[in-house]
Amino acid sequence: MEERVEISAKESCREVIEVTDTPERSKNTQIAASMAKFEDSPVFMFLNSLSPIMPVKSTHITQTINPLSFASIPSVFTSPHVSSLRESRFLRRHQLSDPSKPEFSSDDGTIPNASMENADATKELDEQKESGDGGDLAAELSHDDCSMFVVDFTKDYKCASPSSNLRPGCSLEAKAMTDYGCTSSALVPPMHEPPQRGEANTDRVYQNRKAASCDWEHMVSDTSELLVFESPNDRDSYIKSVDPGTSFYTGIKSDMQRLQVISAVDSGGNEAETFSTQPGEGDVMDNSLISGPSLSNSDEKMDYEQLGFNRGMRRRCLVFEMGGSRRKHLEENPVSDSSVWLCSDGNMTSSDQKLVPLNRGNESSRRLMPGIGLHLNALATTPKDSKIGNPDSSSSARLLIGPSSIVNLHPSTTNQGLLDNILPVATSDRDGDGMENVGDACPPSSYAANEEINQSSPKKKRRRAEQTGEGESCKRCNCKRSKCLKLYCECFAAGVYCVEPCACIDCFNKPIHEDTVLATRKQIESRNPLAFAPKVIRGSDSPSEIRDNSSKTPASARHKRGCNCKKSGCLKKYCECYQGGVGCSINCRCEGCKNAFGRKDGMEAEVEEEETQSSEMSMSDKGLQKIVIENDVEQNTEEFAPPATPLRGGRPSAQLPVSSKKKPPRSSFPSIGSSSSTSFLPRQGFGKSGFFPPPPKFDSIREDEIPDVLQGGGGSPNGGVQSASPNRKRVSPPHNAGGMSPGPRSSRKLILESIPSFPSLTRNQ
């Protein structure tokens, strides 16, 4: 036994040493030879003394990792970031970016080849980075209860050329943040930890951390594939196991500082995000990450295309933390930052821009910004156009972290389905409206968005948007008296800042008023924790989850609170149920309900099929919410077109039986379906009658996916506290946690344990 161990150790040693130049390590003869040499060497002895090395399986780990096998994933997300996230819930709007214009690129403009395709390579890179950056990050993680490292497979790292920007003097941490945080976010440092480094850019570093933390979620999402390293040893072994031929391991050690990170976010062939620090630039994050435009070059463009943009994959993120940090930064440095925001079209926008752009798939930059905190509602609007069927939509995914927050997921590649299912997010809507955003939301660089301008012709803009079909994807409000700080405001309600296309007057729902917005939001949430929660919940098929009549039908999706329609017969968009594309339920107090999606009395047309998807969400007692992202292949497929809107993406509800083609006369329907292909067409019911309800406007989320908190009142009479009347606030405490029965599902689930979105519910962290 002992001998065996020794041999293993030797083997390990050999691997470490040879890793660089001899990928082939399987040969016994070589082993024997090398062993003989090393056995007596001091180095060997030293290595041998290092107990943890467990070479035995190391070599194959990489290849064999099965995402599914990580049952313990949840533990990974201990929600180190909770606090920060909490604040960041309010999202900045994303903007679409033109896929053709890469926002981020490496300095040299090169992009890893086939980055998307090669998940393994990505892994290796990640690993290497981790190992290289090592210490600090690991330590930090441990401190934060992040005991595990998560590797985002979707991301590719690229070894920077000598020209890489990282300054040698930069601390590893800073580098790590830069590298990981923004792009690939393999490691997430504690967000709450204030900058301690003496470096001039500590702030930025800190911000980067935030960003990184956000990415943390990204990582999760990305994949369906996660690697969790419990200990450094594991990582090491993993590294060793990685293809030795790559020589990364050694390369990293030797040239760690040169690493330039390129994250091919969508490793699966999805768009890749690449971003790198700019040469010689100390502040990597703000400038390089956010201002993608400067980075772009022809090469990049090509790369992006190669990476999968062509496929239409795109990702969108809400800029949250970054937004906040950025905002601060802007405030501090209005001038310098002014041009930072990128429009989807690649134009720079003034700092004042309401939205933080960066939605387009190509926009890796968004990734930089943590998507957490995006309110589901934000996604709600559906894009209209959505280039349906556009693969793009799939590329980005968002995780719901809490009732109100969402984590952006990077599509990982292979699991587009997951992404699609999970969060079709804004992507598609962006597409649709993305175009719009590009124009509207992202004014030319010279243009500074301002209210005055916005106010100029609110309706006009809106109409235009609607007519163009772009509109819904992006929330646009027309508030005149609420200052966009009340739920009356769609933007605010959706958790996004107002943008240029908004026609609001005296708007405070802008990044520059972030504090006010957050405060107001908190206030509202204090009143009604579910105020910002998705209004529509898609019922689960699981028998155990059927709670009321409405849920029994295929159209199990339902409005959380129910409507109170008196005159519209629930046949107009005045009705939130109808608007949300769901049938009325017992929760509704409507009169003369004729909801095409399903009447309160149970006459509802059966519209949806939700069987395939599954997702669960559980909350911890302390309010931590675990989000389960389910990667459901089926959804990805035709049946479920990715939700057009960002929110939608998040919400599978997109599955509403609406066909994009059958949109109501008013394009205003947000369209989930629009973005998607006809796949949304109902299989039953409407199809017969020829009536297709409009796509849901509201964000919907699968019931499973919803935090228990939200579900509490939800459509289940049985379940938690339910408000008797629509007017009642549903504040029911989480119940049933863990009670959800997943039911048979083919999909893979990721459970993200994250920050509680509702302050009131949040206790720890």
Q: First vs last Cα of the chain: how many Å apart?
A: 45
Residue labelled with tokens 């107009």:
572
Question: Judged by CB under 7 A, which of 37, 60, 527, 763 binds DNA?
Answer: 527
Q: Does 376 bind DNA (CB under 7 A)?
A: no
Question: Judged by CB under 7 A, which of 167, 197, 486, 522 binds DNA?
Answer: 486
Nearer to DNA, 148 or 575 (CB): 575
Question: Judged by CB under 7 A, which of 487, 512, 603, 721 binds DNA?
Answer: 487
Q: Give the three-state DSSP class for 236.
A: helix
CB of 384 to DNA, least distance (A): 12
Question: Judged by CB under 7 A, which of 522, 573, 622, 735 binds DNA?
Answer: 573
Question: Judged by CB under 7 A, which of 143, 460, 661, 683 binds DNA?
Answer: 460
Q: Does 295 bind DNA (CB under 7 A)?
A: no
Of 61-69, 408-416, 567-575, 615-623, which part binds DNA (CB under 7 A)?
Answer: 567-575
Quick one: 20 exposed, middle or buried, by C-beta within 10 A (0-12, 13-18, 19+)? middle
Angle between helical axes of 119-143 and 232-241 (0-180°, round to 10)? 170
Strand partners, 765: none
φ and ψ of 120, to 5 deg? -60, -45
CB 659 within 8 A of CB 680: yes
Contact set for DNA, span 716-735 (CB under 7 A): 724-728
Q: Does 565 bind DNA (CB under 7 A)?
A: yes
Nearer to DNA, 523 or 544 (CB): 523
Q: Does 82 bind DNA (CB under 7 A)?
A: no
Q: Does 463 bind DNA (CB under 7 A)?
A: yes
Distance CA 330, CA 21 (A): 48
φ and ψ of 538, to 5 deg? -85, 125
Nearer to DNA, 133 or 576 (CB): 576
Distance CA 92, CA 321 (A): 9
CB of 565 to DNA, least distance (A): 3
Nearer to DNA, 271 or 466 (CB): 466
Question: Judged by CB under 7 A, which of 697, 702, 745, 749 binds DNA?
Answer: 697
Nearer to DNA, 618 or 671 (CB): 671
CB of 564 to DNA, least distance (A): 3
Residue 630: enclosing H or E segment and its boundaries? strand 625-631
Question: Judged by CB under 7 A, which of 16, 489, 496, 546 binds DNA?
Answer: 489
Residue 222: enclosing H or E segment and its boundaries? helix 202-222
Question: Judged by CB under 7 A, which of 277, 579, 587, 676 binds DNA?
Answer: 579
Distance CA 416, CA 408 (A): 14
Q: Does 631 bind DNA (CB under 7 A)?
A: no
Distance CA 422, CA 412 (A): 12
Q: Within 13 Å, how many C-alpha atoms sit on residue 657's CB side?
A: 31
CB 196 within 8 A of CB 143: no
Nearer to DNA, 253 or 481 (CB): 481
DSSP track, 315-329? ----B-HHHHHHHHH
At a CB cut-off of 8 Å and minimum separation 6, what does 42 contact? none
Could you tell me the two tokens for 534? Answer: 């998705």
CB of 733 to DNA, least distance (A): 15
Closest alpha carbon to 309 in 265, 342, 346, 341: 265
Question: Judged by CB under 7 A, which of 524, 637, 721, 741 binds DNA?
Answer: 524
Could you tell me the two tokens for 757? Answer: 């979105």
Question: Judged by CB under 7 A, which of 306, 364, 668, 700 binds DNA?
Answer: 668
Question: Judged by CB under 7 A, which of 568, 625, 660, 677 binds DNA?
Answer: 568
Q: Within 13 Å, how many C-alpha atoms sit on residue 296's CB side?
A: 26
Of 4-12, 285-293, 562-570, 646-654, which part binds DNA (CB under 7 A)?
Answer: 562-570
Q: Does 522 bind DNA (CB under 7 A)?
A: no
Question: Judged by CB under 7 A, which of 528, 551, 620, 631 binds DNA?
Answer: 528
Contact set for DNA, span 247-286 (CB under 7 A): none
Question: Judged by CB under 7 A, which of 488, 721, 733, 741 binds DNA?
Answer: 488
Q: Does 482 bind DNA (CB under 7 A)?
A: yes
Angle between helical axes of 425-436 and 458-468 (0-180°, round to 10)? 110
Of 129-137, 397-405, 430-438, 573-581, which part binds DNA (CB under 7 A)?
Answer: 573-581
At a CB cut-off of 8 Å and minimum separation 6, what does 80 contact? 141, 144, 145, 146, 188, 190, 191, 192, 213, 216, 765
Q: Does 244 bind DNA (CB under 7 A)?
A: no
Question: Judged by CB under 7 A, which of 258, 561, 626, 651 binds DNA?
Answer: 561
Q: Does 447 bind DNA (CB under 7 A)?
A: no
CB of 333 to DNA, least distance (A): 32
Nearer to DNA, 284 or 376 (CB): 376
Residue 752's region, left for phi above 0, alpha for psi from -120 to 50, else beta, is: beta
CB of 575 to DNA, least distance (A): 5
CB 324 within 8 A of CB 356: no
DSSP track, 105-149? --TT----TTTTT-HHHHHHHHHHHHHHHHHHHHHHHHHTT--SE
Q: Does 481 bind DNA (CB under 7 A)?
A: yes
Could you tell me the two tokens for 656? Answer: 């509403």
In 146-280, at which residue ranges do the beta strands (DSSP E only) sit? 149-152, 226-229
Distance CA 463, CA 446 (A): 25
Distance CA 507, CA 503 (A): 9
Of 118-126, 485-493, 539-547, 629-637, which part binds DNA (CB under 7 A)?
Answer: 485-493
Distance CA 545, CA 40 (A): 64
Q: Does 37 bind DNA (CB under 7 A)?
A: no
Number of residues that bind DNA (CB under 7 A): 48
CB of 431 to DNA, least distance (A): 20
CB of 113 to DNA, least distance (A): 46
CB of 381 to DNA, least distance (A): 9
CB of 87 to DNA, least distance (A): 20
Of 101-109, 390-398, 472-480, 682-690, which part binds DNA (CB under 7 A)?
Answer: 472-480
Residue window 647-666: x/- pattern of binding to DNA, with contact defined by CB under 7 A = -----------------x-x
Q: How far is CA 444 from CA 339, 351, 449, 686, in A?
A: 10, 12, 9, 43
At a CB cut-off of 8 Å and minimum separation 6, what does 359 contact? 93, 94, 95, 96, 97, 314, 315, 316, 317, 344, 366, 426, 427, 430, 434, 437, 646
Of 15-23, 527-535, 613-621, 736-744, which part binds DNA (CB under 7 A)?
Answer: 527-535
Q: Does 223 bind DNA (CB under 7 A)?
A: no
Nearer to DNA, 158 or 697 (CB): 697
CB of 94 to DNA, least distance (A): 19
Q: Does 518 bind DNA (CB under 7 A)?
A: no
CB of 324 to DNA, least distance (A): 22
CB of 232 to DNA, least distance (A): 49
Q: Does 575 bind DNA (CB under 7 A)?
A: yes
In the complex, which residues of this chain contact DNA (CB under 7 A)? 457, 459-460, 463, 476-484, 486-490, 493, 524, 527-528, 531, 535, 561, 563-570, 572-576, 579, 664, 666, 668, 697, 724-728
